[in-house]
């Protein structure tokens, strides 16, 4: 595998029973649905044949949880082969007998075309080894072009020819069963229409009218209907656009209920079954289940497309991890799966699902305008927070689209000649444009999707920038700070979390309306905002002013994080921070840090702990436009100290700066400490501080 290729190796589709028709194909492989399914079918057939020779190797290639045993491999693959056959039956609208005949015909074509000229053909090595994603896509396209597409383009004619060859095969003789199946038997002159159930012709397979059948017929025709073509090409995704309002309503419902009221662990353990019990008590169960049903159907429609979907947020590129995309939504699904966040966890699934659908509407409208020679900029606009069904390409595939297809279809059959289906593609295209695409809106402000925040997540540094512009910030007096610290050590973790929630609310108002910098923060929260029990520390309540808001927030957050780091509450320290900053320190690095820190006073170690914490939450725990993990820890701490967010900051003395500059930082230093290890560095400083405090006692 290439280093840049993140595609998982082996068979990763899971069990056949876990696949569904909506997830049968990818939408981004430049192949039609039938070709993708045929490629998968031949892959499963090859693996099944391989079981007869090297079953252990086939087993190793299957990635499924729970793992299957060697005797189960054949049944596992047969189930997938059966599923692929059903997909072809549905997509092509052909009988199972015709599907088997199609497969035989493609295999015959492979054998016919596999001549010496093909064997001696020069093929790029990457195509042969299939080690890169691009090479695998090229191989699939070339295989489909040579062996599959020529047959699918003339499918009806090919099948008719093959069936006729079977029928006239002298080796079979005048088989009455074949005559019956291929409708060459001579029907009785007198047919009693009151006894239709006794007439064999009534029970013969007929092609079903469906969107998949329409797509197949359009692809095999010579008629040019560009709008209809691009619509059918993306229809399996476009049908999910009608769920956008439901997705937004569900996310808003859950955010109103849980925003800043649960931490990350609670979010990943609180399951849908439990939420339904809560909703039933609030008499909102029916609404919740309806929205959840729409959310689930939308997820199943687009989940495979999300595997290759990437979007840019604040200069960073986001992509959902494969393990999250393997999850299905049921009663055991955690609420975190439906709460949109930008962290690379369950919450990113909720964000990417909504964003993907919003962008799909815009992208399709842009294609539509190109085909119709319309101005994309002339389309109406709607903000993401004002969307309704009227703005969307919103339709139900069975209640809206299928009736349009049936209205433009001429279906007939004749004994001995089979079924004949003719579509009026041009008229259907006009109706499609009038009913589904006319006056639809381009969605703006997609980057402003509402985000969920857990109770333990830090207030964004951008908020403090706004606060500082409104009210200049200063540190709390060192003596007062020490007394506050002693009081906070006696408070429970839950009290600190509750106080931070209230403080965040106060900050959101303070940064907007401002206040006298020298007025007490407690007065602003109590008298202006009418809050109660705002401070877990009496000293903080008495002495913290509006100009000390940032310092007080840092103090509260630091104490909460220290309690998490000490594992008193089974929490992960800095749980909202990217894992890229949580690399462990090596033993030699730990030794080097201990030698430097042990030479500092308790006061200096505490200041180093505070400064490192501030750097994490104010500098790193924000969406970043650059990769900071590779730079040295010294290179991130010193600039932070020199650009302190506080006015006239004299908190850091020269001896502490000197200690920071002693941290291993050179590129040629094997003990170089990087920013990727900053969390482990902070934990070590905290541990050394606690140890020194206990020793001094």
How does pLDDT run across 478-536, given as a tens digit for each residue?
Answer: 889 889 988 998 888 888 888 888 898 899 899 889 899 999 999 999 989 888 877 99
Helices (H), 303-454: 322-325, 346-372, 402-407, 425-432
pLDDT tens-digit profile of 664-688?
888 888 889 999 999 999 999 999 9
Report whether pLDDT(288) > 80: yes
pLDDT exceeds 90 at position 292: yes
Q: How many Å apart are CA 352 and CA 340, to the nearest integer?
A: 8
DSSP state, 668?
A: T
pLDDT of residue 222: 78
Calpha distance 455→138 (Å, rounded): 48
**Neighbour count for residue 300 (Cβ, 10 Å):** 16
Q: Per residue in 124-152, pLDDT tens?
A: 777 777 777 778 888 888 888 888 988 88
Segment 26-49 mean pLDDT: 82
The kind and range of the H/E element at 312 are: strand 311-313
Position 3 scores a pLDDT of 45
Residue 377 confidence (pLDDT): 92
The pLDDT of 307-327, averaged and rounded, is 83
Domain residue ranges of the chain, discontinuous segments joined by +: 16-182, 242-376, 461-565, 579-696
Q: How confident is the model at residue 1, as a pLDDT? A: 46
Q: Rounded CA gap, 299 and 328, in Å?
A: 9
Q: How many CB atoms lie within 10 A of CB 626?
A: 8
Which residue from 417, 406, 421 is spatially nearest to 204, judged by alpha carbons?
417
What pLDDT score was predicted for residue 565?
Answer: 74
76 Cα distance to chain centroid: 27
CB 137 within 8 A of CB 30: yes
Q: Cα separations (Å) of 528 from 463, 521, 538, 543, 548?
A: 20, 10, 19, 18, 17
- 349 pLDDT above the threshold of 90: yes
Whether 532 contacts 526, CB under 8 Å: yes
Among all chains, which residue has been given the structure tokens 């905002």? Answer: 529
Contacts 24+ apart (CB under 8 A), 513-517: 513/470, 514/470, 514/471, 515/471, 515/546, 516/546, 517/471, 517/472, 517/545, 517/546, 517/547
pLDDT score recorded for residue 569: 46
Measured between alpha carbons, how far apart are the two ends of the chain, in Å? 57
Asked if 613 contacts 682 with a C-beta cutoff of 8 angstroms, the reply is: yes
| Whole-number Å distance between alpha carbons of 669 and 413 | 82
Distance CA(644)–CA(616), nearest Å, equals: 13
418: pLDDT confidence band, cut at 50, 70 and 90?
low
Q: What are phi and psi of 411, to 5 degrees?
A: -115, 125
pLDDT digits over 187-243, tens only? 555 666 676 666 666 666 666 788 888 888 888 787 889 999 999 989 989 999 999
CA dist list (Å): 591 to 267, 587, 594, 674, 688: 38, 6, 5, 15, 12
Q: How many CA atoms lie within 13 A of 325 on its CB side?
A: 20
Q: pLDDT band for position 98 (50/70/90)?
A: confident
Selected residue with higher pLDDT from 160 and 601? 601
Q: pLDDT at residue 623 above 90?
A: no
- Of 147-156, 426-435, 564-573, the poorest mean pLDDT is in 564-573
How far is C-alpha 52 from the geometric centre of its chain's CA atoms?
Answer: 38
Q: Kindly report whether the peptide bond that precedes residue 66 is cis, defined as omega within 30 degrees of 0.
A: yes
> What residues pair up with 423 in beta bridges, in sequence order?
409
Out of 208-212, 251-255, 297-301, which region has the weakest mean confidence (pLDDT)? 208-212
**Averaged confidence pLDDT in the chain:** 84
Q: Give me the mean pLDDT over the 53-66 stretch.
A: 85
What pLDDT does 201 receive?
61
Backbone angles phi and psi of 444, in degrees to 5:
-110, 165
Reported confidence tier of residue 619, pLDDT bands at 50, 70, 90: confident
Q: Render pLDDT for 634-664 as a digit per residue (tens, 0 to 9).
A: 999 998 888 888 887 777 888 888 889 899 8
Query: What pLDDT, on a 0 to 100 scale, did the predictor assign at position 193?
Result: 66
d(CA 153, CA 171): 30
> Quick check: 417 pLDDT over 60?
no
| The residue to which tokens 């003596």 are assigned | 479
- Let me know the angle formed at the C-alpha of 243 by 382 and 304, rounded to the nearest 5 degrees: 110
> Residue 221's pLDDT is what?
81
| Contact (Cβ atoms closer than 8 angstroms) between residue 461 and residue 622 | yes
The pLDDT value given to residue 26: 52
Q: How many residues does the chain have?
A: 697
Beta pairing, strands 311-313 & 409-414? unpaired
**pLDDT tens digits, one per residue of 69-81:** 888 889 899 999 9
pLDDT score for 695: 78
List, for residues 459-482, the tens digit of each pLDDT value. Answer: 667 788 888 889 999 999 888 988
Instruction: Tell which residue, 179, 176, 156, 155, has the closest CA to residue 167.
Output: 179
Q: How far apart are CA 655 and CA 657, in angstroms?
A: 5
CA distance 48 to 330: 32
Is-contact 682 606, C-beta < 8 A?
A: no
CA distance 98 to 153: 15
Q: Which residues of 347-362 are buried (b: 16+ CB within 10 A; e: fewer)?
A: bbbbbbbbbbbbebbb
The strand ranges marked E within 437-594 are: 442-444
Average pLDDT of span 608-632: 83
> Tokens at residue 323, please?
């393990």
């Amino acid at each position: 595998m290439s280093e840049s290729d993140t595609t998982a190796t082996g068979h990763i589709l899971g069990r056949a029973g876990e696949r569904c028709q909506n997830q049968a194909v990818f939408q981004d492989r430049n192949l039609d649905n039938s070709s993708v399914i045929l490629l998968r079918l031949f892959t499963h057939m090859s693996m099944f044949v391989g079981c007869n020779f090297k079953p252990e190797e086939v087993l190793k290639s299957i990635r499924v949880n729970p793992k299957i045993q060697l005797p189960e491999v054949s049944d596992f693959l047969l189930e997938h082969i059966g599923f692929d056959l059903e997909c072809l039956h549905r997509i092509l609208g052909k009988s199972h007998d015709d599907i088997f005949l199609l497969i035989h015909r493609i295999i015959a074509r492979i054998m016919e075309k596999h001549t010496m000229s093909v064997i001696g053909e020069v093929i790029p090595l990457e195509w042969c080894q299939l080690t890169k994603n691009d090479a695998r896509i090229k191989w699939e396209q070339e295989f489909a072009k040579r062996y599959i597409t020529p047959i699918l383009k003339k499918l009806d004619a090919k099948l008719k020819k093959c069936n006729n060859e079977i029928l006239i095969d002298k080796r079979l003789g005048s088989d009455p069963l074949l005559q019956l199946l291929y409708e060459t038997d001579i029907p009785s002159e007198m047919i009693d229409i009151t006894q239709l159930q006794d007439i064999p012709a009534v029970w013969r397979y007929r092609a079903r009218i469906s969107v998949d059948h329409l797509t197949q017929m359009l692809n095999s025709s010579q008629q040019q209907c560009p709008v209809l073509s691009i619509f059918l090409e993306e229809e399996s995704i476009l049908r999910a656009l009608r769920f956008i309002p439901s997705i937004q309503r569900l996310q808003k419902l859950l955010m109103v209920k849980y925003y800043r009221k649960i931490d990350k662990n609670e979010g990943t353990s609180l399951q849908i079954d439990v939420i339904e019990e809560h909703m039933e008590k609030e008499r909102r169960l029916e609404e919740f289940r309806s929205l959840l049903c729409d959310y689930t159907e939308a997820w199943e429609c687009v989940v495979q497309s999300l595997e290759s979907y990437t979007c840019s947020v604040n200069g960073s590129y986001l992509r959902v991890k494969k393990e999250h995309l393997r999850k299905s939504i049921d009663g055991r699904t955690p609420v975190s799966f439906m709460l949109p966040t930008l962290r690379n966890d369950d919450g990113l699934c909720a964000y990417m699902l909504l964003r993907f659908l919003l962008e799909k509407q815009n992208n399709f409208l842009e294609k539509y305008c190109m085909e119709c020679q319309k101005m994309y900029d002339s389309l109406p606009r709607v903000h993401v927070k004002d969307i309704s069904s009227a703005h969307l390409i919103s339709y139900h595939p069975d209640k809206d689209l299928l009736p349009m297809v049936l209205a433009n279809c001429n279906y007939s059959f004749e004994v001995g000649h089979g079924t004949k289906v003719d579509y009026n593609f041009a008229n259907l295209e006009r109706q499609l444009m009038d009913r589904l695409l006319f006056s639809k809106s381009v969605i703006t402000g997609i980057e402003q999707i509402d985000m969920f925040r857990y109770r333990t997540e830090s207030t964004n540094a951008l908020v403090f920038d706004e606060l500082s512009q409104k009210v200049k910030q200063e540190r709390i007096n060192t003596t007062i700070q020490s007394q506050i610290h002693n009081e906070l050590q006696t408070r429970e973790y839950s009290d600190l979390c509750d106080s931070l929630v209230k403080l965040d609310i106060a900050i959101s108002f303070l940064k907007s309306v401002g206040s006298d910098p020298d007025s007490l923060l407690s007065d602003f929260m109590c008298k202006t905002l009418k809050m109660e029990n705002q401070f877990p520390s009496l000293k903080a309540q008495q002495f913290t002013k509006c100009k000390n808001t940032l310092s007080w927030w840092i103090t509260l957050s630091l104490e909460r994080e220290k309690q998490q780091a000490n594992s008193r509450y089974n929490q992960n320290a800095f749980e909202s921070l990217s894992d890229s900053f949580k690399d462990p320190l090596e033993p030699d690095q730990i030794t080097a840090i201990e030698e430097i820190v042990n030479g500092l006073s308790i006061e200096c170690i505490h200041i180093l702990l505070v400064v490192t914490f501030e750097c994490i939450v104010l500098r790193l725990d924000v969406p970043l436009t650059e990769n900071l993990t590779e730079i040295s820890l010294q290179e991130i701490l010193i600039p932070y100290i020199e650009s302190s967010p506080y006015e006239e900051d004299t908190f850091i003395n020269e001896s502490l700066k000197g200690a920071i500059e002693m941290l291993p930082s050179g590129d040629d230093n094997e003990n170089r400490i990087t920013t990727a290890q900053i969390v482990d560095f902070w934990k070590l400083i905290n541990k050394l501080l606690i140890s020194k405090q206990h020793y001094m006692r």
